[in-house]
Amino acid sequence: MTRKTLPQPPAWWHDGSSPPIHARVVSVLYGAVTGLRRKLYRSGIKRSRHPGVPVVVVGNIVAGGTGKTPLTIAIVRRLRAAGFTPGVASRGHGRIEAKTPRWVEPGSDAALSGDEPLLIAHSTGAKVRVDRDRLAAAQALAKAGCDVIVCDDGLQHYRLARDIEIEVVDVRRRYGNGRLLPAGPLREPIERAADCTFRVLNLGVLDDAAILPAAGVGEWPMRLQVIEALPIRGGRSQALTAFAGQRVHAVAGIGDPDRFFATLRELGIAVVPHAFPDHHAYQAEDLDFGSQLPVLMTEKDAVKCAGFAGAQWYSVPVQARMPETFWTALLDKLVGKKGAE
């Protein structure tokens, strides 16, 4: 069996790292290009367009996963509970036929829709549209009857005008060494974050807040809650605590696989970790581990493995928990935007 080898974690995240000179040179050029692009949109030389209904962008200014998708799902659910009809726009990273816009439904093929859009559709039942042009996706959703658009990622997609920007920051990594790509993890300068309406600090699932940096002024804490394991082939869920003291194969093809493995270990589960690249397109042989131990995987991975899952394979759903004051503030801003149209 051939296993893909993951690159080592980038030196980006270590404040004392010294990127190679070529990376620093390219970083300067990258910063000049991205800065010029943003100025062109701000000045009106390049035009942003609005779909006619409020737009909420959930994104980050660093490369890699920070917890955007769980927050997107939580936002969609809360908006529906408040009487809105939200739709989700996404690029659908990792999908084949990427130039073809698509509607994503719970039964869609992950290879065509992308794993995160499929997970959102499956978890919320909301309309989901994937398109490299997020403005076109937002327009299609508005035409389909959605009265608010939630954009999963796309903070840098300035062609789509937005009403609310939510930056998601990983508490452990923050902005790493503070350098722009490829010398560091930043897609845009740190100063860009100040323009966002909300900054959400992903604290993960750790219960011991004493070992975590506190949320700063203007930061909203988000905790990720894991409670149960759902059999991928269907059936009754099990409490994750039922696996305590057992050895399991843990599978994660996400931006930060170690976060998932640490979550299971904190519940007393003996993890045999299997990390894959983000958006990995799984084949059955990828998960042939040569033993009959239970397999626990993230929801994002599970939606791609449903067609060949074993009887002891489980999806571990993650739910984002935000303070009620965050929801009040978000809904107040949305109602104000909707009333102004």
**3-class SS of residue 221:** strand
Cα–Cα distances in angstroms (integers) from residue 188 to residues 24, 72, 269, 330, in the given order: 15, 21, 38, 24
Q: What is the pTM of this model?
A: 0.88
- Count of other CB atoms within 10 angstroms of residue 29: 10
At residue 10, the pLDDT reads 60
- 334 and 312 both lie in a single domain: no
Angle separating helix axes 324-340 and 68-81, nearest 10 degrees: 70
Percent above pLDDT 70 for the chain: 90
Residue 251 lies in a domain: yes
Residue owning tokens 């919320």: 124
pLDDT at 15 over 80: no
> Average pLDDT, stretch 303-319?
90
DSSP state of 263: H
Any domain includes 9: no
**Whether 264 and 143 share a structural domain:** no
Question: Strand pairing of 55-59 and 148-152?
Answer: parallel
Domain shared by 193 and 109, yes or no: yes
What's the rounded Cα separation, in Å, for the pair 200 and 60?
Answer: 10
123 and 244, same domain (yes or no): no
| pLDDT at 64 (0 to 100) | 76
Residue 81 has pLDDT above 50, yes or no: yes
Residue 13 lies in a domain: no
Higher pLDDT, 104 or 3: 104
Write down the pLDDT at residue 14. Answer: 64
Decide: 248 and 293 in contact? Cβ < 8 Å.
yes
Which pLDDT band, with edges at 50, 70 and 90, does 215 fall under? Answer: low
Residue range(s) defining the domain that contains residue 289: 227-317
Strand partners, 170: 202
Split at pLDDT 50, 70, 90, the class of 4 is very low
Least confident span in 179-188, 211-220, 228-237: 211-220
- Spatial CA neighbour of 297 closest among 278, 272, 315, 323: 315
Whole-number average pLDDT of the chain: 87
Listing from the earlier edge strand, what are the strands of the sheet with 55-59?
Answer: 102-104, 127-130, 86-90, 148-152, 55-59, 164-170, 198-202, 219-225, 319-321
Number of domains in the chain: 2
My answer on whether 200 and 106 are in the same domain is: yes
Euclidean distance between CA atoms 284 and 293, whole angstroms = 16
Q: What is the pLDDT of residue 291?
A: 86
d(CA 88, CA 104): 10
DSSP E strand boundaries for the chain: 55-59, 86-90, 102-104, 127-130, 148-152, 164-170, 198-202, 219-225, 228-231, 238-239, 247-252, 270-275, 295-298, 313-316, 319-321
Residues 97 and 181 reside in one and the same domain:
yes
The predicted pLDDT at position 1 comes to: 35
> Which has more confidence, 106 or 149?
149
Q: Are residues 68 and 161 in the same domain?
A: yes
Whether 145 and 196 share a structural domain: yes
Tell me the pLDDT tens digit for each residue of 263-300: 899 889 999 999 998 888 888 899 989 888 999 999 98
Rounded to a whole number, what is the largest CA-CA distance in the chain? 61
Q: Residue 1: inside a domain, yes or no? A: no
Residue 259 and residue 235 in contact, taking contact as beta carbons nearer than 8 Å = no
- Give percent of the chain with pLDDT exceeding 90: 57
CATH number at 110 reads: 3.40.50.300
163, part of any domain: yes
For the cut 80, the answer to whether the pLDDT of residue 48 exceeds it is yes
Does 241 lie in the same domain as 138? no
